[in-house]
Amino acid sequence: MELRLYDTLTKEKRPFVPLDAANVRMYACGPTVYDFAHIGNGRAAVVFDVLFRVLRHRFGAEHVKYVRNITDVDDKINVRAARDYPGVPLNEAIRKVTETTYQQYQDDVTALGCLAPTVQPRATEHIPEMRAIIEKLIAGGFAYAAEDHVLFSPQAMNAANSALPRYGALSKRSLDEMIAGARVDVAPYKRDNTDFVLWKPSKPGEPSWPSPAGITVEGRPGWHIECSAMAWKHLGEKFDIHGGGIDLVFPHHENELAQTCCAFHSDRMANVWMHNGFLQLESEKMSKSLGNFFTIREMLADWPGEVLRLTMLKTHYRSPLDWTQKGAEESAKTLDDWYAVAADVEAATPPPAVVEALYDDLNTAQTLAELHALRNAGSSNAQKLREFAGSLRLLGFFSESAEQWKSRKQQASGVDVKLVEALIAERTAARARKDFKESDRIRDQLAAMGVTIKDSKDGTTWEIAR
Ligand code: AMP
Ligand code: ZN
């Protein structure tokens, strides 16, 4: 079965052929760690986790390397550190902010069912690689130092007579139009208005490192060079897949690609560029100012992580995802059913229809349609039920047993489990002495608490009615 992926650069869905099938390499841009991640960041994590799982399925778990970086140098981090830890030396405060935030992010995306990437490099641990790339770019004539900054010149890149890609190819922008449209109040140290920063001097108190290019004052890297350096260190000069949210295509990925290709004189950085669409809330753009902004942590207070994950997978990763309360409620019902019928079932290899849908550029909407059909067929066919269980595991579900899922839901509902069980025991006793008035009264009392009960020959079970 052929795996096909859509590439932003060539705008086509192509069969995916890794550079080395024994070492399939993907890089996804991770979080800037200064605050709780929002549910949109969660979508990016889930999308590339699904890709990671699909690649592991296709090439074998030990043959896939997934790098997701942590951006721990950023102005927003510095501002946060100064605000939250007044009186603490800035560098120490920054470390506190990045470590706490990173741990929160880890916990949040783990709750969303994401596997840990193979490597999670931190920008601050790759300064030597950044300096090395910057030196290569200067030596090649693609970058220059001016007033303690180092700048990259897209115009030098496009003037080079070589196999280099053209600057602007990824984001489908023309450099000439960028030159014409650039702001006029451009920094005085830039030769051209389209030049971007590779390195800049640090302000007093800010984190700083020895600078490249013979610059004597200490400085810090620009954002784009961080990812070029981390991808190089962990995946090499060329690798298979580079991903991130659609907002990163320009300027971040365009610039990463330019830096890496010019430094290593190569025609490409990654063979496939993949971008997830944005998540929006109730048809509106999610934003802090509109007040419709949710962190993953807030969402996890209302829903199990797998409910959030399933809600995300209903939409194809390249389309905008419209987050609704109703959508999450439906996912919760679906998962209650799936957990009850299959979470404890032995998993079998996912059937071709499920794998084909996933291999078609991660068509998770189609995959879910196949899963609903499989679940129905599984009611009367034990093998299909096992394939259903295996498919859900492949997609990152069923982290708990059916019993854990149910009891967690009962606890989360705020219902007093001990009281419910005591009432059920009383009702059973009432029924045994044929006091049906009393047993009906208890059933009503439970219903008023939001609890429905079901009697069978094995006894009485209960669940929370949503
Ligand atoms: P950031 O920490 O903002 O750099 O974002 C981390 C990742 O989440 C990047 O891949 C972003 O493109 C992605 N991202 C940010 N906002 C959203 C959103 N609303 N929907 C989907 N992905 C997003
Ligand atoms: Zn990046």
In tens, the pLDDT along 286-302 reads 766 677 779 999 999 99
User: What sign does the CA torsion over 297, 303, 304, 308 have?
Assistant: negative
**What pLDDT does 289 receive?**
66
Number of domains in the chain: 3
Structural domain includes residue 371: yes
Ligand 2 centroid–CA 429 distance in Å is: 64
Q: Domain limits at 48?
A: 4-276
Which tokens belong to 424? 């059920």
List Cα–Cα distances, 132 to 126, 128, 166, in angstroms. Answer: 10, 6, 23
Comparing 1-15, 49-63, 111-125, 283-297, the range with the smallest average pLDDT is 283-297
**What pLDDT does 125 receive?**
97
Angle at the Cα of 394 (from 390 to 399), degrees rounded to 5?
85
List Cα–Cα distances, 216 to 87, 210, 213, 219, 415, in angstroms. Answer: 29, 8, 9, 9, 65
Ligand 1 centroid–CA 362 distance in Å is: 19
* 210 bridge partner residues: none
Would you say the CB of residue 29 lies under 6 angstroms from ligand 1?
yes
Of residues 14 and 455, more confidently modeled: 14
Q: Are residues 113 and 43 in the same domain?
A: yes
Residue 42 · residue 195 · CB < 8 Å: no
Q: Are residues 234 and 320 in the same domain?
A: no
Structural domain includes residue 372: yes
Average pLDDT over residues 123-152: 98
Ligand 1, atom 8: closest residue by C-alpha: 41
pLDDT above 70 covers what percent of the chain? Answer: 99
With a cut of 90, say whether residue 46 has pLDDT above it.
yes
pLDDT in tens, 316-367: 999 999 999 999 999 999 999 999 999 999 999 999 999 999 999 999 999 9
pLDDT confidence of 205, banded at 50, 70, 90?
Answer: confident
Structural domain includes residue 409: no
pLDDT confidence of 181, banded at 50, 70, 90?
Answer: confident
Distance separating the N- and C-terminal Cα atoms of the chain: 41
Ligand 1 centroid–CA 42 distance in Å is: 8
Ligand 1 atom closest to 321 (CA)? 20
Ligand 1, atom 5: closest residue by C-alpha: 31
**What pLDDT does 143 receive?**
98
Q: Are residues 68 and 167 in the same domain?
A: yes
Residue where a domain terminates, one of 256, 276, 296: 276
Which tokens belong to 217? 């004052």
**What pLDDT does 180 receive?**
86
Comparing 140-144, 312-316, 456-460, the range with the smallest average pLDDT is 456-460
Residue where a domain terminates, one of 353, 368, 403: 403
pLDDT confidence of 153, banded at 50, 70, 90?
Answer: very high
Would you say the CB of residue 78 lies under 6 angstroms from ligand 1?
no
pLDDT confidence of 466, banded at 50, 70, 90?
Answer: low
Would you say the CB of residue 327 lies under 6 angstroms from ligand 1?
no
Q: Are residues 116 and 104 in the same domain?
A: yes
Q: Are residues 393 and 445 in the same domain?
A: no
Structural domain includes residue 408: no
CATH number at residue 206: 3.40.50.620
Residue where a domain terminates, one of 246, 276, 306: 276
Would you say the CB of residue 244 lies under 6 angstroms from ligand 1?
yes
Q: What is the CA radius of gyration of the chain?
A: 27
Q: Are residues 302 and 423 in the same domain?
A: no
Q: Are residues 372 and 459 in the same domain?
A: no
